[in-house]
Structure 1
Amino acid sequence: MFPEHDCDYYLEAGRPDYDERFVHSVRHVLLRSKSPTIHKFCLKFHFRLSYSFWQRTSNSTGIWQYYDFLRSEKRMANEIGTWIQFALNKNLEVLDLSFSEHGTVGPQALYGLPKCVLSSPHLVELRLTHCTINAKKKSKLKSLKTLYLNNVVLMDQSMDYILSGCPMLEELTLQLCYGHIRVVLLNSNLKTLKFDIGWFRQRIHVSCPTLLSLDMSGAVEVLDIANVASIAEVSVNRNLIFDFDVYKDYQGIKTFLQTFTGANTLNLCSWFALVFSAWQLKNLPSPTFSCKSLHLQLDFMIWNLPGILNLLKHCPCLENLIIKITSSYNEFTSQKQLSWYHLYKFDADEYWNMVDAPVQCMIHHLKTVEVAGLVKKKFVIQFLEYLLRHSMVLKKMKIFAKKKTSKIFEYEERLLNAPKVSASAAVLFY
């Protein structure tokens, strides 16, 4: 943080005014560096390339003023490029570049990554935020293990070119990136893949036999995942485009979930509980998972109840159930998505008493239950009582309440005195 270099001031002033003292200070430090190597180079800079885009589209200033701004921006981009090249020449291992999102307007407003970055054989970790990558040939990142891209524009086939030259890559994170995205790594070391996808993304393709952990959030219309037989942990906190009344959407989501049936740990959001509720109430077959740990983040409203039961039925080897109870508001749960519900009304207070068929995991495997968040909800307590009554090998039920109130103590007493089928089951409150 350079003194008096206030990005808000420059944003209000409407001009890309770069503090020359800051530029000279960085240049001075770099020139004085005599070390043959640099381990890490990190730059967080408010680059205002978007100003040129605004002027070009709005035509609100004279042509000579526009060229003056453009020259200033190009000069600053070249200056940044020399800093990056200087660091790379020192056998740099970690490069972290973060350019400001202030004032950006879509893909036209981002800093263009110098081509030399993708030809750096010593880089082990590369983190890029708010920039554009326009790769035209295979990268040479032969030592890279971690790649993090946040709000990055990937031009044409840039993603393919980057990944084709990263034989040692182990962790890849793509957060709200634009462009054509394919993660195809057939002969690689990739173990962890994280996606945060925006609404603008239409299709993403993933194929990686070495992948162990997949974490997805956001929204997408088409997500193709194949050749991930080694996957052990899956986290899906997202909303796919899905119509509960259309059979082809049911088939699509079922195919998507079948990709992860062999995962050891499964982490699903409340939206998926709603999907499983629809399948349960419509008597549609659900995929069976072999997971031993199931993590659910739930609103725990009435229409989630059949989905929770459906998931338990289709996790026959489940040993650990971890639930985080969130607020009942879900911005993605539209009235259209819930339009099917009125056809399947039931008494929520009696729902768990109406379940006749035994659940396999509760008979043979379920040993630990953890519940955190808004646990004082009536539906939550009724569900926990159901688990205590039917989990035959249960060892511990841990309850993490957000705040200790008289109502919480009332529920604690109710659960402590609830009938337990497992003589060794302990109910613990935190």
Structure 2
Amino acid sequence: MATSLAFGSCSFSLPGFYSSVDKTLAQCQCKNLTKFSLRANYDSRFQSRVDNWIHFATTSKVQQLHLELNFREDADRFVFGDDSFFINPHFTHLHLEHCFFNPVGPINWNNLTHLTISDVSLDHGLIENILSGSPLLDTLKLYYCYGYSWLNITSKSVKNLVLHGYHDPDDIINYLDDVIGINAPYISSLEIVGTFLL
């Protein structure tokens, strides 16, 4: 029985790829899935199908989830539609790229140790929600995220922080005006890549 599933496509011929994933998951009987990876181009026509795939992964008790959903237009960006995603005791590693989210209630990722977020907007309230809901988080990586000016990481569990670029797609002209403050007294490793004003 498979313990990991990975799907990937760089084509914008989406219907064929999405149908193949549907067929594969319909035949899969994985009750305890360790890894689930999806790298694909996306548009909003397929929101419900991606929601179903994520539901499949979470109900299979996946521990390591990698979602990379590239889009062409803002109207086609993927937004998590089910807040149950944010209450999950099984996640240990999450990689979320071009996946926008703003849960209504508190996040509860009690066993999450590694979190990578890429190319999305993160405001201060959302960052605080993530940190307070992930008590075992050891490694936080932010790649080209935006929307925040202050990182207040006071959790004693977070030891590794990576900031790789700061890119607001709606503010190309004034990108050098963005100043990022960091308060992270317990980290032991800080990696900063790209242009920042600190």
TM range (shorter): 0.7 to 0.9
2:104 to 129, 136, 156: 136
**Residue 200 of structure 1: CA displacement?**
6.3
Task: Provide, for residues 339-381 of structure 1, a one-character-per-residue CA deviation record: whole Å limited to 9, x for no partner.
Answer: xxxxxxxxxxxxxxxxxxxxxxxxxxxxxxxxxxxxxxxxxxx
Letter in 2 for 1:78: S
The question of 1:111 aligning with 2:85 is answered no
TM-score where L is the length of structure 2: 0.81
The answer to which structure, 1 or 2, has the higher relative contact order (CA under 8 A, 6+ apart) is 2
Matches for 1:14-413 after TM superposition, within 5 Å: 18-19=14-15, 21-48=16-43, 73=44, 75-101=45-71, 103-104=72-73, 110-114=77-81, 115-154=83-122, 157-180=125-148, 182-198=150-166, 199=175, 202-221=178-197, 223=198
Is the Cα contact below 8 Å between 1:136 and 1:161 reproduced in 2? no
The 3-state SS of whatever aligns with 1:180 is: coil
Letter in 2 for 1:207: N
| CA distance in 1: counterparts of 2:130 and 2:149, whole angstroms | 11
TM-score where L is the length of structure 1: 0.39
| CA distance in 2: counterparts of 1:132 and 1:155, whole angstroms | 12
Indicate the structure (1 or 2) with the bigger Cα radius of gyration: 1
| CA distance in 2: counterparts of 1:27 and 1:213, whole angstroms | 41
**Residue 121 of structure 1: CA displacement?**
1.3
Question: CA 1:137/1:156 → structure 2, altered by over 3 Å: closer, same or farther?
Answer: farther
Number of residue-to-residue matches in the alignment: 183
Match of 2:11 in 1: 6
Aligned-residue CA RMSD (Å): 2.4
| CA distance in 2: counterparts of 1:200 and 1:31, whole angstroms | 48
Match of 2:170 in 1: none
Task: Provide, for residues 198-227 of structure 1, a one-character-per-residue CA deviation record: whole Å limited to 9, x for no partner.
Answer: 336723332233200001122234x3xxxx
**Larger % of strand: which?**
2
| CA distance in 1: counterparts of 2:103 and 2:121, whole angstroms | 11
| CA distance in 2: counterparts of 1:111 and 1:122, whole angstroms | 23
| CA distance in 1: counterparts of 2:193 and 2:151, whole angstroms | 16
Question: CA 1:76/1:109 → structure 2, altered by over 3 Å: closer, same or farther?
Answer: closer
**Residue 156 of structure 1: CA displacement?**
6.3
Unpaired stretches in structure 2, ≥5 consecutive residues: 1-6, 167-174
| CA distance in 2: counterparts of 1:22 and 1:207, whole angstroms | 44
The 3-state SS of whatever aligns with 1:81 is: helix
Question: CA 1:200/1:47 → structure 2, altered by over 3 Å: closer, same or farther?
Answer: farther
Task: Return structure 1 stretches of 4+ with deviation > 6 angstroms.
Answer: none
The 3-state SS of whatever aligns with 1:126 is: strand
Letter in 2 for 1:31: A
Is the Cα contact below 8 Å between 2:124 and 2:150 reproduced in 1? no
| CA distance in 2: counterparts of 1:172 and 1:112, whole angstroms | 21
Letter in 2 for 1:142: N
Is the Cα contact below 8 Å between 1:146 and 1:170 reproduced in 2? yes
Question: CA 1:143/1:2 → structure 2, altered by over 3 Å: closer, same or farther?
Answer: closer
Is the Cα contact below 8 Å between 1:98 and 1:128 reproduced in 2? yes
Question: CA 1:139/1:42 → structure 2, altered by over 3 Å: closer, same or farther?
Answer: same
Question: CA 1:79/1:164 → structure 2, altered by over 3 Å: closer, same or farther?
Answer: same
The 3-state SS of whatever aligns with 2:194 is: strand
| CA distance in 2: counterparts of 1:153 and 1:203, whole angstroms | 15
**Percent identity of paired positions between Structure 1 and Structure 2:** 24
Letter in 1 for 2:25: L
Question: CA 1:92/1:104 → structure 2, altered by over 3 Å: closer, same or farther?
Answer: same
Question: CA 1:201/1:158 → structure 2, altered by over 3 Å: closer, same or farther?
Answer: farther
Task: Provide, for residues 171-196 of structure 1, a one-character-per-residue CA deviation record: whole Å limited to 9, x for no partner.
Answer: 11111102125432323311110102
Is the Cα contact below 8 Å between 1:168 and 1:188 reproduced in 2? no
| CA distance in 1: counterparts of 2:42 and 2:58, whole angstroms | 21
